[in-house]
Amino acid sequence: MKNSLFTKFKGSIKITGRPRTILISLVAIIVVSTSILIYAQKTHSQAQPITTPTANAIPTLPGVGVQLKQHPSIPTPKPTPKPKPTSKPTSKPQNTSGQLTTIQPTIPGIPSLDNLDQVTDQAFGNEGDYVPNSWGAHKLRIIRTTSGDLFTVFISQGNDTQNRTWHLMHRGPNSSTWNDIKQGNAGTEPINIIRGIHDEIHIFTWPGTQEEAHHMVSTDLGQSFKDEILQGQWADDQGYSGAAINQKGDIVFFQTGDDVPGVFYWTYYSPVTNQWTFHTSQMDYRHTYAFFFPGYNNDLTMVAMRDVKRPILNFPDASDFNYIFNEIKYFYISNVNNPVMQQLKVTEVQPQNNNDADVTYLTDAYMDTQGRTHILYNNMYDGVHHVIVDHGVITKNVRQDFTAPNKVRIIQDAVGHFYVITIDDQGQNINIYPGSAQDTDGTQLTAPIHLDISKFPGCTDDDFCHAPTFNVPRGGDALSNYLDGVYGNHGNEYHFRINLRSNG
């Protein structure tokens, strides 16, 4: 019969001599072993320090013949590289959410001229012959794709006044050469180009000026185009047409109509329905050179200047040019599907003699990232005014001094800082007025920075020398620290690239 260890211990007191010695040794061994086991158990039950893996540790994954470098638990931040003046700028993909942001003060950039070159010397610009290539401050002339490709348009003489020829020019991101990649019948006036949210190229033309609005679109960087006729009750004259797009892909194309009553003919494209819808909106008198801004809630904002013959307003006839521009209005439609147009008079100035025409000359309109509408116009009697309309209310009307007051533009950079851009009175410089460090709306400006363009000078004529015109949000390009733009001087069209933040 086998005895338990406990039974053996109980009988050990009766054992004597050598057997007793062996038993005592055995008990001692058992006691020591038990103590070691208890100690080890207590020791390993305590929390052990955690060794943080190093960033360079490379664990081997079982069963996988590849080793992956482990990411450190807290990555080391790397400084954001500053853009180099020689880098090739691109347009960022559009933010299609349509979110507005409150503009905060930022440190102004230091603009620099990174590139200046000639696009063509074949633009239509014979002095006294209308309508020249440089006509129309509201025209959209250049776009930049996310790949850095540049596309700009101009018109050449063509066959006659109703059949000018349009040209689409392309410059690749790593090229310094402009190539004429497509031409067509423009109708009477310069055409419009906008960039779609997926880098589509949209072109709008009036072949033969025959009440047919054509929309051409390319999805392969201009290698091929599809052409469609935009249905509507269009006018058969020049039209003062324009186009615009928002970051959701809504597009508007428009034309202005008769003197009395005035009318906007416009068609609106919705990417939701993939359909164009034609509308007419009436006002008291004709308003032209219009800037349109599709909103993010099916709304539409417009800015234009009154353009009628003097006798209609009970003014005496002029000795030469009988049209007068002496009023600017802001228009708003809250729902493009049920377009009821509201109107706000921005300014009206009475002419001081019988020959004054450009009394309140609209040079630019811009919608900022906060949703405010900026209206820049030159009052021929006291200079440039910068008007801000916020939710249908004029919140500011600031008079500002600029060179070439009929060429003034406004833009923001990638962080939302404002800059006012024009040329000098001799066409030798592009002058840029950065907003101050406290500025949040482009009304507090610093001294101008002069960028030398004397190699390819501009000029100040309203119709034969168009202002610096660059990639803007209403043309489909996101805000950027780089501006690619064009300006005109009769038959010449020039391209420039400006880095608004050469200081990083």
DSSP state at residue 358: B
Q: 284: domain range?
A: 139-417
**In the prediction, which pLDDT does 63 show?**
29
Decide if 320 contacts 354 (C-beta within 8 A): no
**In the prediction, which pLDDT does 503 show?**
86
The three-class DSSP label of residue 44 is helix
- End-to-end Cα spacing for the chain: 94
Residue 69: inside a domain = no
Q: Is the pLDDT of residue 43 over 90?
A: no
CATH number at residue 398: 2.120.10
Q: Is the pLDDT of residue 397 over 60?
A: yes
What confidence tier does 237 reach under pLDDT thresholds 50, 70, 90? confident
Our measurement of the distance from residue 225's CA atom to the centroid of its chain's CA atoms, rounded to an integer in Å, reads: 24
DSSP state at residue 473: G
- The per-residue pLDDT for range 333-346, each reduced to its tens digit, is 999 999 999 999 99
> What's the whole-number average pLDDT of the chain?
86
Looking at the structure of the chain, the number of domains it has is 1
**In the prediction, which pLDDT does 53 show?**
32
State mean pLDDT over 446-454. Answer: 98
**In the prediction, which pLDDT does 238 show?**
79
Residue 443: inside a domain = no
Residue 75: inside a domain = no
Q: Is the pLDDT of residue 275 over 70?
A: yes
Q: Is the pLDDT of residue 3 over 50?
A: no
**In the prediction, which pLDDT does 128 show?**
87
Give the chain's count of helices (H) and strands (E).
2, 30
Residue 9: inside a domain = no
What confidence tier does 90 reach under pLDDT thresholds 50, 70, 90? low
Q: Is the pLDDT of residue 71 over 90?
A: no
Question: Which candidate, 382, 422, 412, places its Cα nearest to that of 399?
Answer: 382
Residue 215: inside a domain = yes
Residue 391: inside a domain = yes
State mean pLDDT over 323-328. Answer: 98
* CB-CB neighbours of 176 under 10 Å: 8
What confidence tier does 468 reach under pLDDT thresholds 50, 70, 90? very high
* CB-CB neighbours of 32 under 10 Å: 10
Residue 228: inside a domain = yes
Residue 462: inside a domain = no
Chain position carrying tokens 């090739």: 88
**In the prediction, which pLDDT does 242 show?**
98
Measured at the CA of 471, the angle between CA 188 and CA 170, to 5 degrees, comes to 70
The three-class DSSP label of residue 204 is strand
State mean pLDDT over 255-260. Answer: 95
State mean pLDDT over 28-49. Answer: 41
Q: Is the pLDDT of residue 492 over 70?
A: yes
Question: Which candidate, 480, 405, 387, 484, places its Cα nearest to that of 141?
Answer: 484
